[in-house]
Structures are given as structure tokens and as C-alpha cells.
Structure 1
């Protein structure tokens, strides 16, 4: 159902997975909107991958995105689970998921997902790149986003889909503090923590994995997950428990040297059959390392500001729920 024309306008900050999916939802609902993306590209190749679960696939199909995405994925069918004591199990739960829900669990590069979401978005002029929002201010009849080049964009509400280091969340807190809610927010600001780091990447030419196979290797103080995707690509994650629990924003940052050091330390760790960590690192096309934030903020909106995705909730990625959990939120927000 398309809404009648009105002066209501949504400013989306962040051309992320959540941001672009939300834009598609608003477009379908006939709600005026604009996307401000700080990067110069909508779909940069940063080496990350995205997992699509049935709950997300159902939404993507309704938005007209799933058919194109299916061309880039290899459905997962078999999961091999390896425990620290050497016990190994084979599970067909991935096939069961497909049989019960009609959609497969699958992975593709995050850049591919963003490219498809952008290409199929019908009003590309509404996506403005190179616009880093630095400030949010109340203005007559709405709220304004100010970017680093001095541009000002006015809307009825601002939606922060700008990730775990969300500027919109910070601005929401700042404005709420001015409204005498500081004591409530001070405690909430400490609710996001970091206990794990992750090296993630995409490799190719790895022998020993079949199409649609997934490996979950649980080690002492670490875990490795890998999925055979389409086009001979393997998406992998190495999770490592840190020496202490950090409270955001005082959390560690990691470089490519840190990623290489960890993979070198674990290079001889056998994951499945003859496959070792070194096989992943040696054949990588791209890789990176990041801290894994975990937390759920209580304040999801204030005044004319709303948070989506990682800006408001971040869960352990050892089970890879990140992107699949961010897909239902834009649709729920759009319908309200």
C-alpha cells in the first residue's frame, strides 16, 4: 500500500545493509527518504561476508532482492562440527532448515549484497555518498543532519544505520543529556563490551571442502568457522578470546599485522581432515581483523532520532547472527 503524499521525510544515515534494506522498505511504502553515506562508494570491498537465513531471505524476496542474490550464493547443506577433544560430528540441520522454511542458509560477500541492493534500488539519486554526518540539531518542523562539508539535510526523523560506532547514537545521547536524561544514559553507555576478536576473510582454491559445506571448529580459547560459497570461494572467521573484558569505547583496535600474527600462531591448527588455519591465510583474497562488540542498548529512539542495526544491538558473531538479525528491524520500523 502506497501512502499519500505528505511532508514526512526520513533521513537515513549509513548506506549499510540495514540502511539500504530500510530504504527499499520505505520506497515500497511510498515514504519520502534520503540516504547519507560517509564513504565514497556504496559497496566497498572490505573483505567481509554476510549470512542469509530464512527469516532474512523472506524479507529480501518481498523487496525483490532475493532472486538476484540467489545467483551469487551456494546453499549450505552439510555442517561439520569439531570439538577440542577431537570429537567430530556431521549434521544435516542446514538441509532441514531448507526443507522446513523453503529458504537455504547461504553466504556471499558483503560488497556483493550491497551492490545488488544498490543496483535494484529505483531512486539512486536519493543515495548521496561522501556525506559524513557530524552533528544533529533540532530545527523548525523537524530535525537536521549536518555533514562535514557544511551541508544541512532536514527531515522529519533521522535513522541511524551507521554501525557500531554510530554518530547518530552519540548525537542522540548528547541531545538527551541536554534534556536532563544524563544519569540514565551514563549507565547505558557502558552496556557494550568486547571479549573476543575476529580475523575474517575470503579465500579461494582451498581443497577438501565441497559445495555447500560448513566447518565449525571449536578450540581452546578460539573457534574457526568457514563456509564454501559460490565460485570456489571460502568465507572464514577465526574467533579469539581476549585477555580481558573491555568496555566500549575503550576497546582494542587491530591492524593487518595483528591478523597475520594470530594466523601465524595458529597456522598448524588442524580444522578438518588435512585442512589447517595456514590454508586459509595462505590462499586469502582479502582479510581483516576487528574487535567483536556485544551489547544491547535500552534506548532505541529519542525525540526524532531512531537507531537501526549495529548502532543499537550487537550480538556475538560466533554464531553469525549479525546481518541476519539486522534484516527484520528495518521492515518492522518501516511498517510502524
Structure 2
């Protein structure tokens, strides 16, 4: 008798948890292995959920909970290096009107907690303190050996373990030909949360641009979130990506004069911080997202700047695409598809998602280089030419028509769609 299909998901971050919610809804067995000792921890930048993502959360029954945890931002205000306002638009209100679903800004911890709680009884399928030491795959299935010597078996391994993917690295170590394009790391970001800042207007996404730096900041009545990007003096590598205990205080000191909102500077933010992390932002992509029974999803496959808030949205769309394919194959074939069948599924998955995801990566790369004046030509096009030709509202319509409206949904969950001015293409 054949064993039932079982997915071994590596990584209990937002992507792995979201995929777990999808597989649970599809009645596909899974286990999630997380190397940390807890699932919900302070980590990562504030995540912006675009409408094609909140649409998926609506399918999963999590939209109302996500809205309740959001910062409630409705407008975007840009300022210059001296703190003077340059523009103000109800950008997120327009986006909501275009698509029928809101844009939500959630601190990563809140999103992780939301997706974790969404698993309900399936939370027992998450195993923490589970570091990988080996992955073995053959014609019959996969076996993941953990650092404590225990093993998890299944039909496939899905690497949702982020930028510094262990799945990708261990697969290379075992001789499987995952060939990644070189990661470029030209920027780093100090992100974190703070207590609500008195005197600053609520509901505003503040963004400032200056040579070598971009700041992003928003506050609700209870919490504030920020991301401070800066250009590295030289391109970094994986080998020199560590920081010491003085890195964050030194960052605040070096950029204390930069404004993040009118009358409010980086140095003013420091005393309100409740949590911070300084991290580099690698940009790159794996040339092959799969091999045999192993497949990558999210930032383990494509890494991008978080400046446009598109990383998790791209990962969520990949998870939707993968979940739909797994649902279909487990209903049409034997409980445990052959390697040949899986190769076809994973190849189709990469073909559909790679072009879209790499395009998003490249747009994000162009945006941060423009806003930090790293590329003068790109800066002139993005900062001046496009707004002059299109205007902010028309640019949001163009983005919605060409990108957001093509967002995928889960094929196996019936639901009532919401609609805006721009029709959904799928």
C-alpha cells in the first residue's frame, strides 16, 4: 500500500506558514520544520500586503484578522532630506478602490502570529528547534535528517527558508545541480518597531529620499514600524555579512540628521525603538528552482530589496501556484507521484513564476537605486519622468492593470470575490 502524499516544508516564516495554511485547506498532509526554538519572534521588516495578497488571505479566512493587526495606512507622503514635504497622495486608498481589496501594512511578527494561529489544530505539525543536517531524495520519497539525529520523511521537500536557504545550500553540498546566480548585496537596511510616536500624523506612510539613503516610516496609535535603507560603500559578500553589537548605535549616529517625517529625524526615533535589526539585502535568483523531489519557494529562490514591499507578495503567489499544482496532482494520480511527474509540475511552476518574480526583483532594484541616487539615469526616469508622464494615480492604475490584477487565487477554495475598478484577470 502506497504512503499518502506528505510535504516537508523547511522554514516557519510567513511563506512556510502561508503554504501550510494552503495545504491544510487542500487536505494535503505536511510538516513544517523550523530551526529556531519559537515560531513567533521579533524578526524582519514591516510587510506590505498588496491586494492580490489580501485577496488570498480572504480565501483563507484571515483577512479580517489581518486588517485588525494592520497599521491602517491610507496615504503616502514623500519628503526631501531637509524634512520638507514634496508630495502627498491617498495612494493606498486608490489601490483599494482599484482592486476591491485593501493594502495592509503589518509588522512581520504580527503577520507570522496571524498565519500561525490560522493553522488551528494543524499547529501541531510545526516542529521547532529542527535544524537540517542532510536531505536525501530517491525514487520513493525524501528523508530529512535533523541535527539531533531524528528524521522526517515525506514525498517532497519545499524550501521556504528564506534568503540564506539551508535547503538550497544542502542540496548543493549533496551534489544536486542547483546553480544560483551570484547574489549582489549593495544595500543594507535597519528595520524595526517603536512605540507610537506622539505628534506624528496617523495613517501616513512617510518616505524620504537622499543620496545613499531611503527611509520609510508609519505609525498607528499603538505601534510604529520603520525601514532605513542605505548604500554600502562596497558590494558585500556572504562571508562578511555579520554585524557587531555597536552596528545599530553606529547607524543611528551616522544618520541621525536624516529626516523620516517633517520635524522628526532618525536620532529622534532611537529612543522610541522597541526592537531593531540591521541586515544586508542580497539580490539574486536561483537558476533552477527544483531538482527531483526538492523545490524552492519564496526568497529561497529569488531575493530582492524590500524597499517596495513586494518580497512576501511574490512568495505568496508562488505558494498559491505550488499549492494549486499539488492539489491537482494528488487528486489525479497515485498518492505519491513519481519523480518524473513532480519534475513536470515543478518545471511548470518555475516557468510560470520565474519571469514574474524576477521582474518584480528588477523593479525593486531599479527603485532603490533611483531613490538613493545610485543610478542617475534610473533616478531621472522613476523620480521625475514617470510621475510627469503618468501621475501617481495613473501609475497605480498601470501597476494594478499590468501586475496586481493577474494575481492567482487558490483553485480549491470556493469564495465570493471582491471587485474594484480594475477587473481581476484570474
TM-score clears 0.5: yes
Displacement of 1:62 in angstroms is 0.6
* Corresponding position of 1:150: 149
Q: How far is the alpha carbon of 1:245 from its aligned partner? A: 1.6
Q: Tell me which residue corresponds to 1:21.
A: 18
**How far is the alpha carbon of 1:103 from its aligned partner?**
2.3
Q: Which residue of 1 aligns with 2:116?
A: 118
Q: CA deviation at 1:154?
A: 1.0
Across the two proteins, how many residue pairs are aligned to each other?
322
| Partner SS, residue 282 of structure 2 | strand
Cα-to-partner distance string for 1:95-118 (whole Å, 9 max, x where unaligned): 100111122222222122111211
Corresponding residue for residue 226 of structure 1: 217
Match of 2:226 among 213, 236, 242: 236
**Matched residue SS, 1:207:** coil
Q: Larger strand proportion, structure 1 or 2?
A: 1
Between stretches 86-95 and 215-224, larger displacement belongs to: 86-95
Task: Report the Cα offset of residue 84 of structure 1.
Answer: 4.6
- Could you say what secondary structure the match of 2:283 adopts? strand
1:287: which partner in 2?
Answer: 276
Partner residue, 2:78: 81
Q: In the alignment, is the contact (CA less than 8 A) between 2:185 and 2:236 conserved in 1?
A: yes
Q: Of 254, 266, 289, which residue of structure 2 is paired with 1:277?
A: 266
Shift of 1:275: 0.8
Of residues 55, 71, 75, the one that matches 1:58 is 55
Per-residue CA deviations over 1:140-173 (Å, capped at 9, x if unaligned) read 6111100000011111110011111111111222
Which residue is 1:307 aligned to? 296
Counterpart of 2:153 in 1: which secondary structure? strand
CA RMSD in angstroms comes to 1.9
Q: 2:387 matched to which residue of 1?
A: none
Task: Choose from 8, 17, 34 the match for 1:37.
Answer: 34
Bigger drift between 41-50 and 53-62 goes to 41-50
Q: 1:327 aligns with which of 316, 320, 330?
A: 316
Structure 1 residues 150-229: aligned runs within 5 Å: 150-177=149-176, 181=177, 188-229=179-220
State the alpha-carbon separation in 1 of the partners of residues 219 and 135 from structure 2.
Answer: 43
Contact 1:255 1:289 in 2 (8 A): no
- Equivalences for residues 242-261 of structure 1 within 5 A: 242-247=232-237, 249-261=238-250
Deviations 1:188-246 (A, max 9, x none): 445211000111111123134322101110011111001123x4311101101001123
Q: For 1:227 and 1:257, how far apart are their aligned partners in 2?
A: 26
Q: Distance in 2 between matches of 1:300 and 1:168?
A: 11
